[in-house]
Amino acid sequence: MTEKLKVQSQTFSLMETTIDELHEAIKSGRTTCVAIVRQYLDRVRAYNGVASMLVTEDGAAVPEAPGVVRGRQPLRFPTESVKASTILPDLDRYQGPPLEYGRMEPTSSDPTVSQQFGMIAGIPNAGQVNALATLNIRGERSVTCKGDFDRHVSEGPLPPGAPPVCEHFRLMPDALERAAELDAAYGSNPDLEKMPMYGVVFSFKDPFDTKDMRSTGGGDAHYDIDFPARDHVLVEQLRKKGGIIFAKAVNTEYNGRAGDPGGRNDPDKVLPSVLGYQRSTWAGNPSNPYDTTRSASLGSSSGSALSVSTNMVMASPCGNT
């Protein structure tokens, strides 16, 4: 971080800041769009980690498993587990179908990284909330165009093996680059009549399509291309109004709920949950910031609300999608 950005971050805090206060700070030169995004990224790196642990049959430790990169650092999963009988004290009397105990498993989207599957429990005083699933940061915002496949054009050609679509994808600026574009174009004098969302950092739950980020509805599925051809109309409008599209929030997978979806596949195991069922197979389970042994909510917009309430973004649309 440059000395100028250090001074700006020391003189302006985003904690519980309103949009009007943000705009006043920009106009007075106390902050910039880049400094704003960097502050949010710092909070993501500090608090957006794993907040749950596996519930296993025997409570034994599990091997370390690599997690997806978020905020330029990989997720770190706990190796300790909780013995199921401590949560289900009468488990020895259970005579139903087998339980789906917790396990680490490579993801379908990217087999080089793992995620928690099966039974989990919240970590007491975790200090993490798992609110955001994908950050709009070059190299980590898509599995299709992961790492050097998202190399900026100024750094030369893509490496061999890059999917052809990545030539198009890498032309789109990430959140920091977009912030720099806004600073260069408008400085401390943005037209707030035309851009009332200028510099406001947004997250969206995953059912909102974002053309510059993975958009799979929260599901862990191996798409040939995991980002859409165009933005959801609301995302497009907010970009035009000066908003910075920063992240995809953890949401109930495909906006679904617990229950029998029908179809030909019948479960052969039971998944008891002490954390609700607003879980994403790609991103995991969001936790309550006041008690991390509990889930954030039972709704599909839990990660959106959580990312705002913990000051990882300034705004996040919720509601039906």
In this predicted model, what pLDDT tens digit does every residue of 222-238 receive, in sequence order? 999 999 999 999 999 99
Rounded mean pLDDT of 59-63?
96
- Average pLDDT, stretch 120-127? 95
pLDDT at 264: 76
**Cβ contact 65:104 at 8 Å:** yes
β-strand pairing of 114-117 with 132-135? unpaired
Name residues whose C-beta falls within 8 Å of residue 301's C-beta, 6 or more positions apart in sequence.
205, 249, 251, 316, 318, 319
Q: In this predicted model, what pLDDT tens digit does every residue of 5-50 receive, in sequence order?
A: 454 445 788 898 999 999 999 999 999 999 999 999 999 999 999 9
Task: Please state the rounded mean pLDDT for residues 309-313.
Answer: 96
Amino acid identity of 58?
Answer: D
Q: What percent of the chain has pLDDT over 90?
A: 81
Helix (H) or strand (E) holding 104: strand 103-106
Q: Residue 69 — φ and ψ, nearest 5°?
A: -80, 130
DSSP string, 272-288: --SS-S--BTTTB--B-
Residue range 274-295: average pLDDT?
Answer: 87
- pTM given for the model: 0.91
Report the 10 Å Cβ neighbour count for 276.
Answer: 18
Averaged confidence pLDDT in the chain? 91
Q: How do the domains of the chain map onto residue ranges?
A: 3-47+133-249
- Please say if the pLDDT value at position 115 is more than 90: yes
Q: Which two tokens stand for residue 180?
A: 């720099």
Q: Are 28 and 188 in contact (CB under 8 A)?
A: yes
Instruction: Decide if pLDDT at 258 tops 70.
Output: no
In this structure, what token pair is assigned to residue 290? 């006041």
Confidence of residue 152 (pLDDT cuts 50, 70, 90): very high
Question: pLDDT tens, 193-223?
Answer: 999 999 999 999 999 999 999 999 999 999 9
Determine how many CB atoms are found less than 10 A away from the CB of residue 20.
Answer: 9
Q: In sequence order, which residues have a C-beta less than 8 Å from that of residue 170 and are 6 or more positions away?
A: 138, 145, 149, 150, 151, 152, 153, 158
